[in-house]
């Protein structure tokens, strides 16, 4: 599929949303949801590797990319509401095919259980929930959130676009240099002094005062009626949050009535950057494009 996208702007829950779309307007719809500190630009190389048979729409979540920012903190249920409003505009009468990466996959997974009639198929790429939390963590979490609310965080300057690209490659060793440069431009903006900053609201750095409750997520997953495909990167990464999730994957898997799973070798968390062709093969093999729904 041609890598160039068109920009579309929609109002979703009083926020002006920026979306990228690829493909023919009358082709079957596939909605892609990006992760934390990312944007719809993340899917460019995956889209490029897909056959030209889809209309792909990918929003910048509120507070990321070129979508509106909040005036305060960000909460997970807002993304569920934004996705619900988006699908009401894109496909009001038919269930949709949904692909999410990382945070976008977590939104897609919960939404697929809350609104099972709205989802035809769902692919969750490197997004299977967070670590379980304990109620005893609540006082400290609320205290930290109060401190951060009183003094909002900010982003430090990132240097040149070459510096940003080098950091992306350091974190994603199999990311090609040319792709890293393009992503560095897409994920940052330049101020009047020539410094680059993330194209995102620094308030995303604030702690979420609401604890993640794994049992609630599992209850939502158990209500999913659509086929679900998990995609994991073959390289295990050592983030503390990932370890807790990986240790409990069997109990999470058991929540899904129709689950397939693929491990993409030689890829870390950002599979769509490091191995877009391999991921495109999985996408093409899972999603059914025989109808426009």
In a domain, 165, yes or no: no
pLDDT beyond 60 at 22: yes
Q: What is the pLDDT of residue 152?
A: 85
The residue-averaged pLDDT of 143-151 equals 95
Q: How confident is the model at residue 124 (pLDDT cuts 50, 70, 90)?
A: very high
Residues 289, 293: Cα–Cα separation, whole Å: 8
Q: Is the dihedral of CA 238, 243, 247, 253 positive or negative?
A: negative
pLDDT beyond 70 at 291: no
The residue to which tokens 């426009």 are assigned: 292
**Residue that wins the pLDDT comparison between 187 and 3:** 187
**Average pLDDT over the chain, rounded to an integer:** 93
Q: What is the pLDDT of residue 253?
A: 96
Torsion angle, alpha carbons of 66, 72, 76, 79, to 10: -40
CATH of the domain at 287: 3.40.50.1820
State which residues form the domain around 16. Answer: 1-132+213-293
Axis crossing angle, helix 214-221 with helix 103-114, rounded to the nearest 10: 60
Q: What is the pLDDT of residue 271?
A: 97
The residue-averaged pLDDT of 157-185 equals 95
H or E element that contains 11: strand 6-12
**Residue that wins the pLDDT comparison between 239 and 243:** 243
> Under DSSP, is residue 234 helix (H, G, I), strand (E, B) or coil?
coil
In a domain, 242, yes or no: yes
Q: What is the pLDDT of residue 238?
A: 55
pLDDT beyond 60 at 185: yes
Specify whether the CB–CB gap between 244 and 166 falls below 8 A: no
Q: Which DSSP letter does residue 41 get?
A: G
In a domain, 183, yes or no: no
pLDDT beyond 90 at 245: no
Residue 185: both structure tokens together: 């431009």
Q: How far is CA 43 from CA 15, 47, 59, 173, in A?
A: 22, 6, 11, 18
Q: What is the pLDDT of residue 82?
A: 98
Residues near 239 by beta carbon (within 8 Å), at least 6 away in sequence: none
19 C-beta neighbours (distance < 10 Å), count: 23
Q: What is the pLDDT of residue 93?
A: 95
The residue-averaged pLDDT of 184-204 equals 91
Specify whether the CB–CB gap between 47 and 74 falls below 8 A: no
Q: What is the pLDDT of residues 269-283, one digit of tens each?
A: 999 999 999 999 999
Residues 230, 253: Cα–Cα separation, whole Å: 9
In a domain, 282, yes or no: yes
> What's the domain count of the chain?
1
Specify whether the CB–CB gap between 130 and 235 falls below 8 A: no
In a domain, 2, yes or no: yes
Q: What is the pLDDT of residues 75-121, one digit of tens each?
A: 999 999 999 999 999 999 999 999 999 999 999 999 999 999 999 99
Please give the model's pTM, rounded to 2 decimal places.
0.95
In a domain, 171, yes or no: no
Q: What is the pLDDT of residue 240?
A: 54
Q: What is the pLDDT of residues 224-238, one digit of tens each?
A: 999 999 999 998 665
Q: What is the pLDDT of residue 290?
A: 62
Across the beta sheet with 29-33, what order do the strands follow?
6-12, 15-22, 55-59, 29-33, 96-101, 119-125, 228-233, 259-264
Q: What is the pLDDT of residue 146?
A: 96
The residue-averaged pLDDT of 180-185 equals 96
In a domain, 76, yes or no: yes
Residues 30, 54: Cα–Cα separation, whole Å: 7
First to last CA, the chain: 19
H or E element that contains 100: strand 96-101
Percent of the chain with pLDDT over 70: 96
Q: Which residues of 26-53 are buried (b: 16+ CB within 10 A; e: fewer)?
A: ebbbbbbbbbbebbbbbbbbbbebbeee
Q: What is the pLDDT of residue 192?
A: 81
Q: How confident is the model at residue 199 (pLDDT cuts 50, 70, 90)?
A: very high
Q: Is the dihedral of CA 179, 240, 206, 110 positive or negative?
A: positive
Residue 30: both structure tokens together: 């596939």
Q: Report DSSP letters for 194-213, one per residue.
A: S-EEESB-GGGGSPPSSPP-
In a domain, 43, yes or no: yes
């Amino acid at each position: 599929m041609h890598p160039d996208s068109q920009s579309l702007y929609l109002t979703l829950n009083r926020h002006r949303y920026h979306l990228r779309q690829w493909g023919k307007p009358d082709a079957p719809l596939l909605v892609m949801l990006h992760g934390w500190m990312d944007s719809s630009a993340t899917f460019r190389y995956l889209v490029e590797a897909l056959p030209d048979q889809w209309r792909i729409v990918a929003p910048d979540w509120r507070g990321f990319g070129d979508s509106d920012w909040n005036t305060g903190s960000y909460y997970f249920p807002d993304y569920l509401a934004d996705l619900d409003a988006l699908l009401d505009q894109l496909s009001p009468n038919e269930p949709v095919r949904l692909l999410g990466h990382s945070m976008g996959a977590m939104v897609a997974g919960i939404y697929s259980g809350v609104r099972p009639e709205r989802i035809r198929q769902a692919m969750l790429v490197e997004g299977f929930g967070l670590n379980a939390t304990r109620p005893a963590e609540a006082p400290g979490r609320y205290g930290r959130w109060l401190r951060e609310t009183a003094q909002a965080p900010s982003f430090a300057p990132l240097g040149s676009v070459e510096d940003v690209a080098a950091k992306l490659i350091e974190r994603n060793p199999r990311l090609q240099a040319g792709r890293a440069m393009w992503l560095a431009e897409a994920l940052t903006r330049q101020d009047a002094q020539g410094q680059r900053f993330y194209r995102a609201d620094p308030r995303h750095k604030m702690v979420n005062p609401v604890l993640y409750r794994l049992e609630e997520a599992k209850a939502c997953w158990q209500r999913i009626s659509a086929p679900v495909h998990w995609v994991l990167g073959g390289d295990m990464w050592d983030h503390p949050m990932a370890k807790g999730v990986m240790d409990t994957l069997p109990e999470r898997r058991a929540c899904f009535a129709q689950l397939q799973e693929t491990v993409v070798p030689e890829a870390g968390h950002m599979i769509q950057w490091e191995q877009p062709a391999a991921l495109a093969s999985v996408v093409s093999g899972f999603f059914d494009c025989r109808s426009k729904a």
